Structure 1
Amino acid sequence: MIFCTMASPDHLTPGASHPKFGSDYAEKEIGAIFPEPAVLLSESHKSYLIERHGTLDLDPIPSMDPADPYNWPSWKKSTNLGLVAFHACMGTFTAAAIICAYEDIAEDLGVSIQRVSYLTSLQIAILGGAPLFWKPLSHRFGRRPIFLLSLVLSCACNIGCAKSTNYASMAACRALVSLFISPAMALGSVVVTETFFKHERARYMGVWTLMVTLGVPVGPFIFGFVTQRVGYRWIYWILAITNAVEFILYIFFGPETRYIGADVQSRSSAFKTEYLSLRRIDPTPFKMTEFWHPLTLFTNIPVMLAAIAYSMVFLFASVLNSVEVPQLLQSKFELNAQQLGLLFLGLIIGSLLGEQLGGFMSDMWMNTRARKIGRKPTPEFRLWLSYIGFLLTIAGMVIFLVCTEQATAGKLDVRPVVGTGVAAFGNQVVTTVLTTYAVDLYPQDAGSVGVFINFIRSTWGFIGPFWFTSMFESVGIANSAGVVTALIVGASFIPTMLLHWKGNRWHSKNTDSLGLGGIEK
């Protein structure tokens, strides 16, 4: 006989009754892995799963509803994830888009380059906090309506940026763009959890995390050419056009992934649910606590440590290596905007290569271990790969900073670019491994985990540029490599070692404190 778990708790409406945990089960989103009662699947359910997926070895077990995202064909899941991941990329892409145009904007608006750099810092800060507002709305109205609204409003505000005639109006429009473009940066984790099974989660979580990472270097890489050839205002026009095109693509290829219904539906009914429904799908009343619920994960030690460890690596390997490149290399090598944009190629290549280890290889790592021991390994086993990421990040940052100081002024030196590529490789490994680890711990609360990680990452990213310059001036560019190494070891490497040692006990204790039993070993 084959025994399987019931449908994922994500399929329950908050406030709906659960056979074991009562009416408050899904609403609380406590952030623990809840054991579910074992039930024997009906023969019709087995037949449906075999026909649809070719196996019963699925986690979680989907319903027999074609509207259930777990039952979608692979092309449909992948296309939707591609749209969501690109949408997430647009958050960091938009923030970093003007990096190569700082000098042009400063000259046009009559302000200092330092003030212009705040247009990027401002967006980074808002990208961290705005998802706290969008997550509860997406829970009630679905992901699709929020994404569509996000793109329409972002498009309008990017047009406002293009038309701005002074610094204040441009800053206001940039702030609004950041507010409206942010949902996918945090909700990508829950979209992956709602559509892909656990054994393939790291691979597809990596697509989302990779796009968020790539947005930082790809923005200045592309718009360096735009600034040099047609002027910086075309940056905003291109961003607005991109928002409009993605809105159209969402209409046809971005179905709803927030699944509530549990009854078998016809194909026509499934189509209406996925594409035509823009109404409220969850009648549960709003609670103010929902808007800051993700921040309660500060008290959840495993998720908090994973978020901090990742964010410190992201701060240096992505933010420092992007925001400070104009200051460190543009004047030293006497580069124009187009040439400066080419220096971001190292970050792009490193991130793409790093994702192969952090995503695809991460799933292989876990699946191979499961076959070897005959059971699912604990989530902490995935953390072994993160150490490779930490070491490569440190090595890359040392190469970048030391070679930048040693480079001869006026003569282009590619060694710093190689360093950024090595650091980007390590950063992407850490990004995917630690994000997937946190979601694996609490898949029922994947949305809050994504929002929380995004909040920590963006907070670090906002604060960093304010003290990077002081660090370079106080200890020197090359010696700053020592500061960076110490911070990564102290805030990333050591906390991850603690997770390896105590993580399973910590999150098991969280579950036991609720009287729900331990986590599957």
Structure 2
Amino acid sequence: MEQQHPEGSNPSLPPGTVLLESREQSEIILHPHPTNDPNDPLNWSRLRKGINFGLTSFYVLFTFVMLDIFTVGFDSYMKDLGVPYQILNDSTAANFAGLAIGCWIFIPLVHKYGRRPFYILSSAIQLAAAIWAASVKTSGEIVASNLLAGIGGAISEAIVLITIIDLFFIHQHARLNGAFVLVQSTGAFGGPAAAGFIIDSMGWRWMWWWTAIFLGVNLVLVCCFFEETKYVPPLIGLQNRLQGQPSTAQHDDEKKTDSYEHVDNVSAKYNFEDVPRPNPLSKRLALITKSDVSVRHHYYLPFQILFTFPAVAYSAITYGLLLAWFSVITSASSYFLLKPPYNFTPSSVGLFTLSALIGTLIGIFTGAPLSDRSILWLSRRNGGIFEPEMRLWVAFPGALLCTVGILIYGLCLARGYPWIVPAVGFAIFGVGFSISSDIALTYLTDCYPDVLGDALIGVVFVRNGISVIIMFVYTPWITALGIQNTFICVAMISLAMVIMPALLLFWGRKSRKWTASNYRRFAMRQPMARNI
């Protein structure tokens, strides 16, 4: 029996609602649809995808090492350079400002010139920022080097999620987004642990020199081996088979896409009369893959999309609050754990952050697989139809764990409990952090894949904007309320994250249906949209 893709055959269905599994044959329906072009990244072999995603992961790892080791050196900055705690928090806020501004500047250009040149540019800027950070002598330089580091790392989240969309199918997104969160968290939590030991043994400047060395290695790897994942289909010979069958694969779908020849075994939405030849290495590693499209509208569309689609606003607010609370905890640890009754050294502060990494690992290895498996189970119960809101059930334990972790950490730190107790709180926060961030990003990816680049600009801008505000007011907040009351306030705000997925479970599908025409209008303004 011919199987129709809901979006393609029934435009009345909301964006994100797709036929994920055939009821007759228990087959997974591949979304987005691959072509029969061997140069389509969806058709790359598993090894080729793995190499590209591995390089992306290495880039993300040291981007977040670069962005998150600064707080471990607070005590050293205060002693060696006489920099007050307020300036150090302001420098952290400047870093977040760079992240917000840089993403807004660079991501629109990713659509026009490809992913590869901006991976290279980002890596080069971060290398320069690390060298500068190792050489700073004044408060102004500390703030400026943090701002530059933020600009350099600004595209790291958005471009990686765009790369995942380029390479992988919808039923793989949670696992790949989970892998991204894992690598991100390893850099954010593991980097400070290593930096603490470097500070104790070699001094705070060497934590930046070692970072610069690894960022230099990353730059070489990206330049030499990272292939462009932006797909620009040949214009000649394209047949749009709107009435054709959607692509299918058995549950062992990775074996089906091990090489592009397998694509001929399934029915593709877009096929070429003459199958194109594989691109030569020179084209795969070209510095620029340019499209003749305007990108001006990509500088204001992100904000239109942010205020048009509730799913985008949910992702932005959730991700923003998570990052802000992470920054609040790490800043508190880098200052209060150095004082009685803890009297930690920088290496001990760095090791303390490993508790959050352990929690993050637990969250990733339970939350992401549970999310992907739950949507398959729920889709079967829904006649094979997948709704993005099916993922949101997993968001509830994530939000609750974040709140519990913040409360345990803040209350125990304020009361001087043994260090293991706030460490457990930080670990619980890590579990909730990984689950909540993975669900928020994957839900956005599932709902609006064809406007993801613009949506992520809005998400990252809001996320970092929230962090800028929180870090600027954090020191006066602590001074006015004290540690305990500040963290109680933070926990109550965090608890509000439970409300958002609950609202979307009831009205998410309706909101996607109400805004479907806007989505398709925005999608038509994207450089390349597979499904609109």
User: Normalising by the residue count of structure 1, what TM-score does the alignment of the two structures yield?
Assistant: 0.84
Is 1:134 the equivalent of 2:106? yes
Q: Offset of 1:468 from its aligned partner?
A: 3.3
Deviation readout 1:368-407 (Å, 9 max, x if unpaired)? 2223333123111110000000111111111111211222
User: What is the aligned partner in structure 1 of residue 439 from structure 2?
Assistant: 433
**Most deviating of 298-307 and 332-341:** 298-307
Q: Offset of 1:237 from its aligned partner?
A: 1.3
Alpha carbons 2:67, 2:149 under 8 Å: kept: no
* Code of the aligned partner of 1:265: P
| Whole-Å separation in 2 of the counterparts to 1:514 and 1:236 | 44
User: What is the aligned partner in structure 1 of residue 503 from structure 2?
Assistant: 498
User: What is the aligned partner in structure 2 of residue 146 from structure 1?
Assistant: 118
2:283 corresponds to which of 263, 273, 276: 273
Is 1:238 the equivalent of 2:220? no
1:485 corresponds to which of 473, 491, 503: 491
User: What is the aligned partner in structure 1 of residue 395 from structure 2?
Assistant: 386
Q: Offset of 1:515 from its aligned partner?
A: 8.0
Deviation readout 1:151-193 (Å, 9 max, x if unpaired)? 1232123222223333323432332232123222221111111
> Match of 2:386, SS?
coil
2:408 corresponds to which of 391, 399, 412: 399
User: What is the aligned partner in structure 1 of residue 311 from structure 2?
Assistant: 302
| Whole-Å separation in 2 of the counterparts to 1:362 and 1:104 | 42
Alpha carbons 1:67, 1:273 under 8 Å: kept: no
Alpha carbons 2:306, 2:313 under 8 Å: kept: yes
User: What is the aligned partner in structure 2 of residue 453 from structure 1?
Assistant: 459
2:379 corresponds to which of 367, 370, 374: 370
1:327 corresponds to which of 320, 324, 335: 335
Alpha carbons 1:303, 1:449 under 8 Å: kept: yes
User: What is the aligned partner in structure 1 of residue 239 from structure 2?
Assistant: none
Deviation readout 1:457-497 (Å, 9 max, x if unpaired)? 2122222223334444444433444322321233x111221
User: What is the aligned partner in structure 2 of residue 182 from structure 1?
Assistant: 154
Higher relative contact order (CA 8 A, sep 6+): 2
| Whole-Å separation in 2 of the counterparts to 1:336 and 1:315 | 24
> Match of 2:38, SS?
coil
User: What is the aligned partner in structure 2 of residue 24 from structure 1?
Assistant: none
| Whole-Å separation in 1 of the counterparts to 2:399 and 2:145 | 37
Query: How many pairs are equivalent?
Result: 471
User: What is the aligned partner in structure 2 of residue 212 from structure 1?
Assistant: 184
Q: Offset of 1:339 from its aligned partner?
A: 1.3
Q: Offset of 1:147 from its aligned partner?
A: 0.5
| Whole-Å separation in 1 of the counterparts to 2:420 and 2:89 | 25
User: What is the aligned partner in structure 1 of residue 97 from structure 2?
Assistant: 125
Q: Offset of 1:416 from its aligned partner?
A: 0.3
User: What is the aligned partner in structure 2 of residue 200 from structure 1?
Assistant: 172
User: What is the aligned partner in structure 1 of residue 524 from structure 2?
Assistant: none
Alpha carbons 2:97, 2:147 under 8 Å: kept: no
| Whole-Å separation in 1 of the counterparts to 2:141 and 2:476 | 29
Over 3 Å counting, the alpha-carbon distance change for 1:471 and 1:161 in structure 2 is closer
**Most deviating of 437-446 and 233-242:** 233-242
Over 3 Å counting, the alpha-carbon distance change for 1:489 and 1:161 in structure 2 is closer
* Code of the aligned partner of 2:444: A
Over 3 Å counting, the alpha-carbon distance change for 1:257 and 1:2 in structure 2 is farther
| Whole-Å separation in 1 of the counterparts to 2:445 and 2:34 | 19
Q: Offset of 1:203 from its aligned partner?
A: 0.6
Alpha carbons 1:158, 1:174 under 8 Å: kept: no
Q: Offset of 1:499 from its aligned partner?
A: 1.0
1:464 corresponds to which of 466, 470, 473: 470
Over 3 Å counting, the alpha-carbon distance change for 1:403 and 1:274 in structure 2 is same
Over 3 Å counting, the alpha-carbon distance change for 1:435 and 1:279 in structure 2 is closer
> Match of 2:484, SS?
coil
Alpha carbons 2:311, 2:443 under 8 Å: kept: no
Over 3 Å counting, the alpha-carbon distance change for 1:465 and 1:199 in structure 2 is same
Over 3 Å counting, the alpha-carbon distance change for 1:237 and 1:259 in structure 2 is same
* Unpaired stretches in structure 2, ≥5 consecutive residues: 19-26, 235-271, 522-530
Is 1:101 the equivalent of 2:73? yes
Is 1:291 the equivalent of 2:299? yes
Alpha carbons 1:92, 1:212 under 8 Å: kept: yes
**Most deviating of 437-446 and 327-336:** 327-336
Q: Offset of 1:501 from its aligned partner?
A: 1.0
User: What is the aligned partner in structure 1 of residue 359 from structure 2?
Assistant: 350
> Match of 1:430, SS?
helix
User: What is the aligned partner in structure 2 of residue 168 from structure 1?
Assistant: 140
Q: Offset of 1:35 from its aligned partner?
A: 9.5
Alpha carbons 1:323, 1:465 under 8 Å: kept: no
User: Normalising by the residue count of structure 2, what TM-score does the alignment of the two structures yield?
Assistant: 0.82
Over 3 Å counting, the alpha-carbon distance change for 1:183 and 1:86 in structure 2 is same
* Code of the aligned partner of 1:65: D
| Whole-Å separation in 1 of the counterparts to 2:153 and 2:210 | 15
Alpha carbons 1:33, 1:444 under 8 Å: kept: no
User: What is the aligned partner in structure 2 of residue 33 from structure 1?
Assistant: 15
RMSD: 2.8
User: What is the aligned partner in structure 2 of residue 52 from structure 1?
Assistant: none
| Whole-Å separation in 1 of the counterparts to 2:49 and 2:36 | 17
Deviation readout 1:111-162 (Å, 9 max, x if unpaired)? 2232133322211221122111111211111101111122123212322222
1:247 corresponds to which of 199, 212, 219: 219
